[in-house]
Amino acid sequence: MNSDVIVGGLLQSAYFLLMGLGVVLIYRQSGVLNFSHGAVATLCGYVAHAALGGGFPYPVAAIAAIGAGVVVAVLIERLLIRPLAGQEHIIVGIATLGPALIIIALVGSIWGQSPYALPGPIADTQFSLGPITLGSNETLSIVIAAALLVGIQTFLDRTRFGLAIRAASEGPLTAAMLGVDVATVRTAVWGLSGALAAIAALMITPHNVLGPNFLMDFMIGSFAAIVLGGMESIIGLAVGALLFGLLTAEFGYYVTGRLAATLNFVLIAVALLVMPLGTDTWHRGLLGRPLQKVNEPRIGATGGRRVRLPQLTIPVPDLPTLRSIPVAARAGLVILVVGLLLFALPFGADTLMLFTLASLGVMFIAAVGQNLVSGYSGQISVGQNGFITIGAYTMALFGQAWHIPPIIAIPAAVLLSASVGLGFGVLTNRLAGAYLALLTLAFAMAVPELAAYPQEITGGQLGMVVPAAFAPGGAISVLQLMYWTIMAVALIAGVVVHLAGRGWYGRRLKAVRDSEVGAASIGVPVGRTKLSAVALAGAFAGLAGALSALLIGFIAPDSYTVWLSVYLLVAVVIGGQASTLGTLLGSAFVVLIPVLASEALASSTAAIWTQGFFGIAVIVVLWAMPAGLVSLVKFGRARPLRLALAKDVERVTRTSGG
Amino acid sequence: MNTNTRGHLSVALRNVAIGLAALLAACTATPGTGTGGDSTGNTTGIKDKSIVVGISSPESGPGAIAAGYTYGFKTYLDYRSQGTGINGYKFQSVIVDNLGNAAGGAQSMQQLLARTPFMVLITGSSSIQGAAPVISSQGNGVVVLGLGNADILQASGLPNTYGFFPHYTQECYFMADFAIKTLKAKSLALVYEDSATGQGAAITCPTYSLTHGGAAFKNFPFPPPAVSTNYTSLVASIKDTSPEACMFMGSAAEIASVKKAADAVGVTCKWIGFSPLFDPTYIDLAGASAEGTYFDAFVEPVGSDSDATKLLKTEMQKSAPTHINQFGAFGWSFAAVIADAVERATAGGKTLTRESFTSAMNSTKTTKQLGLLYSADYTGDRYTLTRSMTVYQVQGGKFVKVLDTTSIPQP
């Protein structure tokens, strides 16, 4: 064994642990996967950098950074998370993407995109322990990570406030009834998480660099360690970080460093297959203990003692004009109108509009699949970019290497993606919640890396040119033909999923989503239903990948990163889950907002704010319409009283541990 | 169906029909030519002597560090547009985020072409690849400027295209020659980001080196920064092969981290970074580890005290102070070449057209200082304006020239 590699692995483990602590703490407290943690850490790093640049000594800079972390995290909790209390965890998790994008844009606009060096807390020296050479700041990082691990675990286990945190995590209503000030506890945990983000930034960046995106990317990478160890256990996180840090270092040394994400995915998959882990056991992590996460009820500002009771909603009758038309006729009419509009558009629209709408069509097709798996069946997947990659590369390879026409290549891409989805579904069937999300995340990171690995075949990171589906020339352009093709496919996909969602299949998916036990008790094959959703979602994603490859004419792995999946999830959540119209609106949001923002900013020097504005838009929509944009359309149609009451009764029952 | 229902249906259908007609009318009324102004003949993209320059820039994502090119470029054009401009011509820049990837390159190019620009600048090799098919089908002869690997630009096959950086494959030959001939190294290593940056060089450089005096050559790829930040395994592998010279192709942040990790485990090779790394940022990031590192270069270091760098710093301080670095200097210098071509094309009151501009660009061959460039040459190869390079070394925290200008080996 190479001692340098072991030391490097240990150090990386410490960094994963430092970054993961805050993520796990928030998840453990509220069940929310906090995407903004890495961005808060970034801001803290820049605050320390600014303080040092201003001539302040390191301890002052460190305190300023930690203070900034606490303040920003508390602000996120008070201004964003608390108003969303009672919403599903996936909605709150997606909402945290908003502040993340805003912070990154803010940091970039103030300090620029060039990286900075942040010094470590102590002078950089090296010392030897036998054959091992250690750096002073690196050693300090390991010591601080270990100290934080022990300290936080002791704090949670042995202190009264730790008990309050655990109580508020496991049953907020019960905790509130027992006198725990749940709101204050939550704020305190977010503040602590902010402080941990700052410490992570102070320890990780000296060994690396301080840049607007670095810690955000590092956080995504550290999710691998988190999922291996377990989201709900601090000790489990430590074990996961240690395993992942050491194994990737050894794998990188003895095999290759180009398949780190793939190794992570394989590790988790193997762990699932060989370890006798049921879903509950996996939820505990390797050494943790089980916690039951519940959707947070709305807790008032008075220490959590005031609970807003479910409001009775009064159905508002629909407009008589539309109600009087049979449903099938209305649907047919809508499809006809939309179809005619989409067909006619290329005769008047410019190429930008056509390309943007075609991109929207591709996004919609992928989001329809995402909605099946996440919206209808309740499986939080961020792995759709993996299937999109498979579809795109199948298309490109068939077209470029084997000269097979798209009419054959596209079905092949769909079939392959669905098959991989089926296999993947066997693994994911054992998981739920954030663990499912994190396994799919590992998949999402592995597939583009795998696509790039055989560079003689796929062009590696250089990518591949995708032959056009249509021959150029003539009165009708290739883009117009692609537009019609994509829109026709999108329309069919939308109609099929809409009808399936309203029929027996949709009812099965929703039954599984709402209660697997309940669904099984009425004869729904839970496993097969979930598996079918993952496979179908894979098929739609593969279809979207193939079409996007044809639309752009070029593919490279960097177009299919995990962020694509995150944005698909944003489309589903922003639009409205389990709704085809919502998926359409959400897809439009994800495609059009950045385009509109960049158009608005194009003549200025503020293009860096394009993604920042997207983040603002995410927050605004989720603030105003937590149920998604589709609630705009459904305005006035209250949910049935019986269902509303049933859901609220179920929530109260689950909250009280019943 | 009763009478009342039929009535409602007819009302609904009528409303839908009216809406459809209105939407179709709106669609057909949408102009298809963008907002670029005069779109007749070869003066497309110029209106009232205002030259529209579309810039596809990585404003977000891991590649956003390259946005410095954009703001250096824009700042120089704005500087030259002051007063009466260049023979009456001024520049109007439009910037769209390309996310630093191929899909973003395609989308941003669609947006830029809708504004009917005279020329477009694309920053980043992946974005160039993504934008190329769009330009091929819809560019209508737009002039293309690329800030990325000249190999990628050449492979795009686009007409009217001009690059800035060298062909990275050839630059690797230059580094290998320097290592073999000047540093007397026989065993070489290419440490590269496994992306469009280093992949091409990793294929061709070993053969070149081994046929030009090298005795051993080994490639050491590492994943892009969004995937991994742990370089211990990489440097441990390098240490095992004990190369005498380590050529590096990646970002400033990556080489800083790799160099620090290499020093920690005792790698003793002489490090040579390629031209985009020639940036004081590296010295800041690597600290003491930077000492002794070599960089090939074709521009003056931004940290020097010449009139050219003073002008750059003064102008960039006004509009893009966070980009006063070598990235900004590259963009600034590229813009100086563009402005010089516009000046020559419009000398004597001539009208600027795409033909006159490309003709001026094609004839660019000068040793006069343009921006921070030592020379510029588009004759023979328009994908790079660099035919020769020099080498600097970090000594006492500063870049010190250690090799006179030397031609870049051609394949």
Smallest Cα–Cα separation from B279: which of B248, B324, B318?
A: B324
B307-to-A65, A340, B300, B302, B402 alpha-carbon distances in Å? 39, 63, 11, 11, 22
Q: Does A596 touch chain B (CB under 8 A)?
A: no
Identity of residue A412: A
Residue of A282 and A488 predicted with greater confidence: A488
pLDDT of res. B3: 40
Of A69-78, A319-328, B356-365, the range with the lowest mean pLDDT is: A319-328
Note the pLDDT tens digit of each residue in A518-576.
899 988 898 899 999 999 999 999 999 999 999 988 898 888 988 899 899 999 999 99
Q: Is the pTM of this model over 0.90?
A: no
For B406, the 3-state DSSP assignment is strand
pLDDT of res. B225: 64
Chain centroid to Cα A164, Å, comes to 29
Q: Which of residues 519-558 of A touch B (CB under 8 A)?
A: 548, 551-556, 558
Note the pLDDT tens digit of each residue in B115-172.
999 999 999 888 998 999 899 888 889 999 999 889 989 988 898 999 999 999 999 9
Of all residues in chain B, what percent carry a pLDDT higher than 90?
A: 62
Of A40-54, A59-73, A228-242, B35-49, the range with the lowest mean pLDDT is: B35-49
How many other C-beta atoms are found inside a 10 Å radius of the C-beta of residue A27?
A: 24
Q: How confident is the model at residue A195 (pLDDT cuts 50, 70, 90)?
A: very high
Q: What is the DSSP string of A263-329?
A: HHHHHHHHHHHHS---HHHHHHTTT-------PPP-B-TTTT--BPPPPP--PPPPPHHHHTS-HHH
Q: Is the pLDDT of residue A306 over 50?
A: no
Q: How far is B135 from chain A (nearest CA, A)?
A: 11
Q: How confident is the model at residue B217 (pLDDT cuts 50, 70, 90)?
A: very high
A415-443 average pLDDT score: 83
How many other C-beta atoms are found inside a 10 Å radius of the C-beta of residue B193?
A: 21
Q: How far is A183 from chain B (nearest CA, A)?
A: 35
Note the pLDDT tens digit of each residue in B302-314.
888 899 999 999 9
Give me the phi and psi of B258, to 5 degrees please: -65, -45
Instruction: Give the best residue of A6, A11, A104, A114 to mutate against chain B (max B CB count within 10 A).
Output: A114
Q: Does B209 touch chain A (CB under 8 A)?
A: no
A135-to-A4, A127, B265, B396 alpha-carbon distances in Å? 12, 6, 10, 23
Chain centroid to Cα A544, Å, comes to 19
Q: How confident is the model at residue B339 (pLDDT cuts 50, 70, 90)?
A: very high
Smallest Cα–Cα separation from A306: which of A172, A108, A502?
A: A172
Alpha-carbon gap, residue A265 to A257, rounded angstroms:
14
b/e sequence A187-221, b meaning 16+ C-beta within 10 Å:
bbbbbbbbbbbbbbbbbbbbbbbbbbbbbbbbbbb
Report DSSP state, residue A142: H
Q: Is the pLDDT of residue A233 over 50?
A: yes
Alpha-carbon gap, residue A533 to B119, rounded angstroms:
47
Q: Is the pLDDT of residue B16 over 70?
A: no
Q: Packing angle between helix A260-274 and helix A234-254, nearest 10 degrees?
A: 120
A569-to-A382, A563, A587, B71 alpha-carbon distances in Å? 7, 10, 10, 33
Q: How confident is the model at residue A615 (pLDDT cuts 50, 70, 90)?
A: very high
Of all residues in chain A, what percent carry a pLDDT higher than 90?
A: 45
Note the pLDDT tens digit of each residue in A7-49.
889 999 999 999 999 998 998 888 888 999 999 999 999 999 9
- For B312, the token pair is 């750059």
Q: How far is A125 from chain B (nearest CA, A)?
A: 10
Instruction: Give the best residue of B20, B92, B110 to mutate against chain A (max A CB count within 10 A).
Output: B110
Q: Is the pLDDT of residue B294 over 50?
A: yes
Q: How far is B243 from chain A (nearest CA, A)?
A: 17
Q: Which of residues 238-277 of B touch A (CB under 8 A)?
A: 239, 252-253, 256-257, 260-261, 264-266
Q: How confident is the model at residue B355 (pLDDT cuts 50, 70, 90)?
A: very high
- Closest chain A residue by Cα to residue B2: A324
Cβ contacts of A626 within 8 Å, gap of 6 or more: A84, A87, A91
Alpha-carbon gap, residue A187 to A173, rounded angstroms:
16
Cβ contacts of B12 within 8 Å, gap of 6 or more: A321, A322, A325, A333
Q: How confident is the model at residue A645 (pLDDT cuts 50, 70, 90)?
A: very low
Tokens 């950086």 appear where?
B165
**How confident is the prediction for chain B on average, in pLDDT?**
87
Cβ contacts of B280 within 8 Å, gap of 6 or more: B301, B302, B303, B325, B326, B399
Q: Which residues of A touch B134 (CB under 8 A)?
A: 355, 553
Q: How confident is the model at residue A273 (pLDDT cuts 50, 70, 90)?
A: low
HEC letters along A183-219: HHHHHHHHHHHHHHHHHHHHHHHHHCCECCCHHHHHH
Q: What is the ipTM of this complex?
A: 0.81
Please, are residues A629 and A271 in contact by the beta-carbon 8 Å criterion? no
Of all residues in chain A, what percent carry a pLDDT higher than 70?
A: 87
B5 with A348: Cβ contact below 8 A: no
- For A641, the token pair is 């009283």
**How confident is the prediction for chain A on average, in pLDDT?**
84
